[in-house]
Structure 1
Amino acid sequence: MISKEKRMIAEKWFNEYFTKGNLDILDELTSDDFVYHGRNGDSSREQMKAFMQWFRRVFHNDEWVLDDLIEQDTKLVVRYTGWMTYKGGWFNIQAEDQRVKETGIMIFTIENGKVRELWCENSDAAILFELGALPKNSHQTF
């Protein structure tokens, strides 16, 4: 059973931060020493706000589904699926209002009702492929 508090944090993360681009929600949801661990290194709350400003310029009409939630101690794991429309601004990829799908897993560490750390693994390469940035038939998929 997932605690109500942790479920609410995940739902606000996707509904407020991602879908609405509400930057102030990060102040509510994250601790002062919040760290996002990504493949390009660690990011602060302010860097996450800058990311969302970019994201809202590049994608719109997004919809998110929280497919699975797994809780253990202070951690909440969320497997998610999202659909969004690309409107340009990512590398030099032409925008043709392409609808793309993202899948991923986020691991939240929640302490004292706030997200202290977040890890995320997502399907950026699949999105690039859908947008035509990676050549068709250039690699095998399973």
Structure 2
Amino acid sequence: MGATDNKAIVRRIIDEAWNEQDLDVIDELYSEDYTGHWYLPGGEDSDRESLKAFMSDVFEGFPDYEMDIEFLIAEDDLVTMGFTGEGSHEGEFMGIPPSGSEPAGTPTPGHITYRIEDGQVVEGWSTWDALGLLQGLGVLPEDLSAMAPAADD
């Protein structure tokens, strides 16, 4: 498969799995031995099932969650995507009770790099603006300087 085919796989993941909340697409487009480096709480790598569990948590917390692709770059077996995610915080997410914000603060940007073999994602890396999301949900103040320890005189 070439770069164009691999980009089409990523577009399906975003359109169908994230935006239509169809987790069956994950079973189709991610290999059984998938490893995700998603930097989730606990710091452990994820597998296909823990990715689906995380996505379910996102959908529970933000029922109208939508991810927009900002750019896609493909080379060999890698596709890198810049994205922006946004949704109304109407359910619990990562232990944070619903804030009712519409949308939750500003859109949350991030990047995902997918490694694709034989039409399936076998590995992925992701970072996203968790700090900005927590500030948008009101969990952390916009001005973090108030949380800094006082300097010793």
Q: Same fold (TM over 0.5)?
A: yes
- For 1:67, give the aligned amino acid: E
TM-score (norm 2): 0.82
- Structure 1 unaligned spans of 5+: none
Shift of 1:94: 4.2
Which residue among 95, 98, 103 is the counterpart of 2:102? 98
Taking the aligned partners of 1:68 and 1:28, their CA distance within structure 2 comes to: 23
TM-score by length of 1: 0.88
Identify the residue that residue 123 of structure 2 maps to in structure 1: 117
Unaligned runs of 5+ in 2: 147-153
Could you tell me how far apart the structure 2 residues matched to 1:139 and 1:107 are? Answer: 33
Runs of 4 or more off by more than 6 Å in structure 1? none
Structure-2 separation of matches of 1:63 and 1:136? 24
Does structure 2 retain, via aligned residues, the 8 Å contact 1:59–1:86? yes
Percent identity between the two aligned chains: 27
Taking the TM superposition and a 5 Å limit, the aligned residue runs for 1:38-53 are: 38-39=38-39, 40-53=43-56
* Alpha-carbon displacement from aligned partner over 1:41-70 (angstroms, at most 9, x marks no partner): 211111111112211110122232211111
1:88 aligns to what SS in structure 2? coil
Counterpart for residue 76 of structure 1: 79
C-alpha displacement at 1:73, in angstroms? Answer: 1.2
Q: Conserved in 2, the CA contact under 8 Å of 1:35 and 1:44?
A: yes
Aligned-residue RMSD, C-alpha? 1.8
Partner of 1:131: 137
Greater Rg over alpha carbons, structure: 2
Higher strand share: 1
Distance 1:116 1:99, change over 3 A: same
